[in-house]
Amino acid sequence: MHMTVGNIQRALEIRVVQAKLPGRSADLTFLTEENPFHLLKVTPTNYVGELYSPGADDIGAGNWCFDRSNKTVIYLLNYGNSFEDSQTKLLKFKVKLRGLPQSPAKPSGAPESFGVAFEQVKD
């Protein structure tokens, strides 16, 4: 799970760097709407695809999906059958835009600071 989160974060960071290149659009809002798994060179084997409002049965324990209804990445924790009453838990992540506050002392013409984050979100 941690490797997939890290891979998505790195892919997003690469997109931010590319956006800062001369002649490129600095508008990163499309990243908040797009499936971040499309940014990866290799999709994880436990990625089940794009779904609309999936439940645990749709995803399967230990798997990832992209929820098209709210643009979140979901991972269903896999606790195994260790405990009779163990419950499955959905972890949700979302791409969010980040911009540093404008500084009044910033020289005119200085580049804007912006970026994206891949963060866990609560329901």
State the pLDDT confidence band at 122, using cuts at 50, 70 and 90.
confident
Segments forming the whole domain that contains residue 115: 2-121
Number of structural domains found in the chain: 1
The Cα 102–Cα 104 span in angstroms is: 6
pLDDT in tens, 49-107: 999 999 999 999 999 999 999 999 999 987 655 554 455 688 999 999 987 544 555 55
CB 58 within 8 A of CB 65: yes
pLDDT in tens, 9-60: 999 999 988 888 888 877 888 899 999 999 999 999 999 999 999 999 999 9
Model confidence, pTM: 0.80
